[in-house]
Structure 1
Amino acid sequence: MNLKLQKFEGLNPFQENAYLVHDNKKAHLFDPGFHNAEEWDRLLQYLESVKLDVEALVITHAHVDHIMGLQRAMQLFEVPLYMHKDSYIFIEQYPRQAMMFGMNAEPLEVDPVFIDASWTLQIGSFEYDSRHTPGHSPGHLSFYHKNGGWVIAGDALFAGSIGRTDLFGGDYELLEESIKKKLYTLPDDTVVWPGHGPNTTIGYEKKTNPFVKGL
């Protein structure tokens, strides 16, 4: 059996994508931006239909749209949260982040496990690796599964675009370097699962992305 990836798209007012990576028993939930009852129902019904237990929460970065459902997810699943240490400042400033977009939010109560670019995550007999891809946000991580031929790229790389760099800690030159060295070096047929919008491939973005040209 292959490691599977299930996409939950168009979440919250920012149209964020969350992902569930799983084998036939266990799952890792990425970027839980679930915001309302309908969005949570989509996740919980899928977990029930496939008979999965969530064993870890993972975030690519901690911008408000990617962590809207984090507190509830921690309460529901009572599992470790994995993230890069440089993203923790955004956890601490979650209410302030929300306020910037006209929303109210309570402080998050989490005790994360910090990971870096050398970290390997595992579900059953399957492994996938973290890659440090800052530039859109400090501490941004992408997650690559070689055998599956895909990468969860968060807000580093989109179909025909890249993550914005005008927010706190953003750096266009650093993001360009991250994409060229950590993502464009993956095989061309690698499927890119982004934090917003449709999936794409590394090869297509190397040829056509107007913001970061291929090698």
Structure 2
Amino acid sequence: MIAIECLTYNPYQENTYVLYNEQKDCIIVDPGMHNAHEEQHFQSYIKENGLNPVLLLNTHCHVDHVLGNKCVYDNFGLLAQFHEGEIPVLMEVQNYAPQMGFNYQAAPIAEQFLLDKDIIKFGDDTLEAILAPGHSPAHLCFYSAKHNFLIGGDVLFRNSIGRTDLPGGNHTQLLQSITERIYTLPEKTTVYPGHGPSTTIGFEKTSNPFIQG
């Protein structure tokens, strides 16, 4: 069993996900804590639930999804795992974060990176990395076929899709990613997006005004 907790942080209302199993090991995805109060809230959640963080994942490296990487590294010694194609995006965060009012501190970068179709082991369970660029150059989603969920980042939202007007964005590529990599998953798959409420593949294929199946 994998339980999923959504903690929403920073002015962009970014969804930080904590995935944990029966052994209380947990994966942190896209930590968005942007100040001391949010960092304390996050650490208290981990402590109060007796969780043991074992892995840090980034779907992509836009500022609102990586603000908490340094906090996770400092407190749990975890280096973020993401696609190497996101490095230029991450490097730019250092330049524009202060202009946006964020006190951003960069975390060390891991020497190994995730690739499309990589299998991430988590106790008795696994997650599959699915490359879905368009919102950012090398955006990954994390899929559990066993538990019917997708940690989708900023690719597909409830009745919406990720923006493509940021550097590295490509609208045509994003629609292709959704069509070929996301909508091909089972319709009962629950999508946990980087912002807003969860949805399902089946619901979006019939009701999303931007792209239907």
Same fold (TM over 0.5): yes
Deviation at 1:105, TM superposition (A): 3.1
Q: Which residue of 2 aligns with 1:185?
A: 184
Kept in 1, the 8 Å contact 2:132–2:181? The answer is yes
Deviation at 1:126, TM superposition (A): 0.7
Deviation at 1:186, TM superposition (A): 0.9
CA RMSD of aligned residues (A): 1.5
Deviations 1:151-173 (A, max 9, x none): 00000000111000000010011
Secondary structure of residue in 2 paired with 1:206: helix
Kept in 2, the 8 Å contact 1:80–1:112? The answer is no
Query: What is the rounded CA distance, in whole Å, between the counterparts of 2:211 and 2:59 in structure 1?
Result: 20
Query: What is the rounded CA distance, in whole Å, between the counterparts of 1:97 and 1:110 in structure 2?
Result: 19
What TM-score results when the alignment is normalised by the length of structure 1?
A: 0.93
Deviation at 1:104, TM superposition (A): 4.8
In the alignment, structure 1 residue 18 sits paired with structure 2 residue 16: yes
Kept in 1, the 8 Å contact 2:69–2:80? The answer is no
Query: What is the rounded CA distance, in whole Å, between the counterparts of 1:112 and 1:194 in structure 2?
Result: 27
Kept in 1, the 8 Å contact 2:70–2:105? The answer is no
Secondary structure of residue in 2 paired with 1:144: strand
Deviation at 1:7, TM superposition (A): 0.9
Q: Which residue of 2 aligns with 1:201?
A: 200
For 1:53, the aligned partner's letter is N
1:102–1:174 distance in 2 versus 1, CA, 3 Å: same
Kept in 1, the 8 Å contact 2:25–2:54? The answer is yes
Deviation at 1:75, TM superposition (A): 1.0
Deviation at 1:100, TM superposition (A): 4.9
Query: What is the rounded CA distance, in whole Å, between the counterparts of 1:197 and 1:31 in structure 2?
Result: 14
Query: What is the rounded CA distance, in whole Å, between the counterparts of 1:107 and 1:79 in structure 2?
Result: 13
Q: Which residue of 2 aligns with 1:40?
A: 39
Deviation at 1:203, TM superposition (A): 0.5
Segments of structure 1 that go 5 or more residues without pairing to the other structure are: none
Q: Which residue of 1 aligns with 2:122?
A: 123
Q: Which residue of 1 aligns with 2:79?
A: 80
Deviations 1:119-169 (A, max 9, x none): 111111111101001000011000001111110000000011100000001
